[in-house]
Chains A and B, each alone.
Chain A
């Protein structure tokens, strides 16, 4: 086990965690403020990636693609909220799950009709090559850029929520929904904006991860499960919880995938360890979730107290 390996894995974990955070931030707000389980959140992630891919292919500019894909997806999210999802707020969670799951299937098929099953998105030319961080470690420049992007977005979100009037309303809604209703204000417009914000952040994650992962139909579902784990660990409705939870999940997942098989290889024959290692690594985060639920059933940073 070398220092380089640990350092590289820490960077990978941070990068993965920050992208999970972009997804979890929107999901936790929608869940926390509107008490709405939105399985279609992953679909915005996919839409963002496909949108960015086709804009990049037409215009040739990756940055323009990201810049446009995010607001377009946010608008789609807001339109969906106003037309369809709004009806679901008063219904029970089962109806919400069924309706948004239907939405997942519909959006998947629409994407397949419009774009096909997959699309290709390349990182911008300026970030295509690896950078040498120090002797012996060249790291993907693009992954590094994602880390920076994730940190900037996290900072902006903090300012938005802690320092602005909009943020104050958000916090009020997340900590005590009924009371926030009672105090008046334009609640339905707030909900639409929150939904748009969540969809936009998910699209940003999709567009940013597109060049390193495959842009394909169904990409949203696999990452959505992890996102739910993040908000359960972090505490529903809490942005800070989402950030800590996401980085925790990202770190543990990537570290586990390297070090558990490595450790097992020392203790058992290679054909066993290559089977057991990945299996053990992939349950680690669920063990973490179970532990958090046991000791802190509300999550690490519960936002709600009523």
Chain B
């Protein structure tokens, strides 16, 4: 009899304690790419995310945040195992962290089928902006095409007659160029290079022979760094200027390229000198914490953390009510560091796009300066294909 009572008591205790954790903790699965040649981008996103968490003493929406971090090392099978663990064993409330579409696209169906909210901190994919849009997927970073129309319009205005498009092969590169071609009116040639390519001598020779008015490149991370170094040392930048989306001309690239990029125009949904209170606070805190300027990626990570914070607050910690959480996420009730921010019907961001120029600031540091807003409330062209379940 005593044994039975003890057992019941134990069971009750276990039940109570599990209830307690269910209420007091928000569990976040952070599946990212934090090692390998392209680790810098994932690291920046995470630094931004951590910064907001730290400013709230490790709490999001008044709940203690338990962030479980995994690293796929740019390998899809590792990502599959990580995500499996986060969904099945850890039973997380939110998933985030994905840096590259090529990494998180293969695991997305499983995440969404498990009715776990995925908050993409970086690139948003075409398919999931259109027909495959899901109530559980929210892209906080950008849709792949977002930076392109602003630049295409600029090049139309500058009256460029023929240009060369250079992009890394893969869904990202294709979508960035598609967005550009949708708006650019002149003639163009395009060229896709291998993912991870480091020597661009052949491509540069081709461009020299073709003599275009300008080139538009999408080569993220180390690829862009190699390309630009070689382009400049071949003396081509004087005759054929380079334009790029902001993904290629942010702090991570400027760190290695520095003065090589001076004067380069690029479009982005964020800049460190955007004049709004949330951004000023973010930039100051980031500089104080990490002793460097934040990048666009860090800003996105910060916004993801803010979004979770706002949603948990709105449902008062009751994360089991998925419909309410979804509503709260859709409301995006937080001060984004990029200024205007709303989720579209397809859960892709609507935000303003700015033209930036790489300059040397007063402290002698090479960084971006915002010139003007070039697109007001940019939204992707795929939203019409999205039939979001109510």
Residues of chain A at the chain B interface (Cβ within 8 Å): 1-2, 4-5, 8-9, 12, 15-16, 112, 117-118, 120, 123, 128-130, 132, 137-143, 211-214, 216-219, 222, 254-255, 257-258, 261-262, 265, 270-271, 274-275, 278, 282
Contact = CB atoms under 8 A, between A and B. Distances in A.
Interface string B210-233: 000000000000110110011001
Contacts of A1: 209
Nearest to B190: A274
B190 A117 contact: no
B192 A274 contact: yes
B201 A15 contact: yes
B255 A5 contact: no
B203 interface: yes
Contact of B209 (A4, A216, A219): A4
B39 interface: yes
A258 B222 contact: no
Contact of B40 (A118, A123, A211): A118
Contacts of A214: 37, 198, 222-223, 225-226, 256
Nearest to A141: B233
Contact of A282 (B37, B194, B199, B230): B194
21 contacts: A1-B209, A8-B205, A8-B208, A15-B201, A129-B235, A130-B233, A130-B234, A130-B235, A141-B233, A213-B198, A213-B226, A214-B222, A214-B256, A216-B37, A219-B198, A222-B198, A254-B201, A254-B202, A255-B202, A258-B205, A282-B194
A12 B205 contact: yes
7 closest Cβ pairs, A-B complex = A130-B235, A257-B202, A138-B235, A12-B201, A140-B233, A214-B222, A5-B209
A60 to B, nearest CB: 15
B234 A218 contact: no
B190 A271 contact: yes
Nearest to A5: B209
B37 A218 contact: yes
B contact patch SS: helix
Contacts of B230: 140, 212
Interface residues of B, number: 34
Nearest to B257: A120
Given A140-B234, A261-B191, A120 B255 contact: yes
B169 interface: yes
A8 B190 CA distance: 21
Contacts of B190: 270-271, 274
Contacts of A257: 202-203
Contacts of A130: 233-235
Contacts of B256: 118, 120, 214
Given A8-B205, A212-B230, A261-B191, 18 more contacts: A5-B209, A9-B202, A12-B202, A12-B205, A15-B201, A117-B35, A118-B256, A129-B235, A138-B235, A213-B199, A213-B226, A214-B198, A219-B37, A255-B202, A257-B202, A257-B203, A262-B206, A278-B192
A82 B371 CA distance: 60
A154 B364 CA distance: 43
Contacts of B191: 261, 274
B101 interface: no
B36 interface: yes
Contacts of A120: 255-256, 258
B189 interface: yes
